[in-house]
Amino acid sequence: MSNLKSTLELNNGVKMPKFGLGVWKSNNTEAKNAVSTAIQNGYLLIDTAKQYGNETGVGQGIREGLQKTGMNRKDIFITTKVFNGDQGYDSTLYAFENQLKRLNLNYLDLLLVHWPVDGKFIDTYKAMETLYKNGRVRALGISNFNTERLNQLLDRTTITPTINQMEFNPYNQENEILSNNKLQGIQMEAWSPLGGGEALADPVINQIAVRYKKSVAQIILRWEYQRDLVIIPKSIHEQRIIENSQIFDFSLTDQDMELINNLDKGQDHRVLHYDDFKWHNPNGSWGDEVDHCEDSPANYAD
């Protein structure tokens, strides 16, 4: 029976929970409370990034959640990402140590290249390979890599990524990237799985939700779960955190799965466009600054 403890095996043999909590656009206080709440309600996967400016709050939430549940560090799976402004070999190694300090952890379960900054992402990943070989990280991955940049990475590095974390939702299904990842043995993980809210108003999904007596969000998350994605919906509200996870007591029929599959509108419906981040330019301004959250900006400096 599938539940929040269900895992999949990554290409290096590490087992990763299939459902977790994302904390994008949460400040440190919100992230702390959301992470603690999620762990107390059975979540085992937590996803953050230096870019989000809330690693300190996530670390506090981890400690509180583990303390209140009696679980140990090894019982949960923690992901963070290499910040665009830290990319490069030596700078990645240096930044990693500071990220661990903010999270108050002595190892990571998964480390991702947040964006493929041209001229830097290869050296960044090579630094991550060093961390992996030294036992500081249990698995390596990438985020927001299209097929071209994934192939560049595979040609010049030795460890195949375990994960490619992409925006994925009913209106933006990234099927070409998903197919290529599968061929390479790379697991797709969905960020913004609810599509920034646009898909929540879709009449087809709403009709399905009525028939199953489930929320629209639950229908979308169940659809992604049945497509064998790792899912990390974001919420800072306890009721929503709990509701999002209640997708294991029903299954969508093949017909309903296909109805949602047919809603794909392509990359024009991305929440974030690659060009907005200027990730092809190592000196670009977008995505190179931490999103400072108002509650504790001092936590972001290395």
User: Is there a domain that residue 1 lies in?
Assistant: no
Q: What percent of the chain lies above the pLDDT cut of 70? A: 88
Determine which helix (DSSP H) or strand (DSSP E) holds 119, and give its type and residue range.
none
Report the SS3 class of residue 19: strand
pLDDT tens-digit map of 191-206: 999 987 788 999 999 9
pLDDT tens-digit map of 16-61: 999 999 999 899 999 999 999 999 999 999 999 999 999 999 999 9
Reference 145, options 88, 81, 239; nearest CA is: 81
User: Is there a domain that residue 298 lies in?
Assistant: no
**Cα 163 from Cα 140, distance rounded (Å):** 7
Report the SS3 class of residue 249: coil
User: Is there a domain that residue 282 lies in?
Assistant: no
The whole domain housing 216 covers 7-270
User: Is there a domain that residue 45 lies in?
Assistant: yes
Q: Interhelix angle for 254-261 vs 216-226, to 10°?
A: 100
**Residue 234 in this model has a pLDDT that exceeds 60:** yes
User: Is there a domain that residue 276 lies in?
Assistant: no
Reference 61, options 74, 83, 78, 86; nearest CA is: 78
User: Is there a domain that residue 279 lies in?
Assistant: no
User: Is there a domain that residue 72 lies in?
Assistant: yes
179: CB partners within 8 A, 6+ apart: none
Locate all alpha helices (DSSP H) within 46-113, ordered by sequence: 55-69, 89-103
**Cα 126 from Cα 87, distance rounded (Å):** 11
Write the burial class of residue 296 (CB in 10 Å: 0-12 exposed, 13-18 middle, 19+ buried): middle
The domain tally of the chain equals 1
How far is C-alpha 61 from the geometric centre of its chain's CA atoms? 17
CATH of the domain at 39: 3.20.20.100
User: Is there a domain that residue 11 lies in?
Assistant: yes
Catalytic entry in 52, 171, 225, 300: 52
pLDDT of res. 14: 98
**Cα 44 from Cα 67, distance rounded (Å):** 14
**Residue 300 in this model has a pLDDT that exceeds 90:** no
pTM of the complete model: 0.92
Q: Is 89 among the residues known to form the active site?
A: no
pLDDT of res. 167: 92
Kindly state the tokens that stand for 148.
């071209």
Reference 87, options 257, 287, 254; nearest CA is: 287
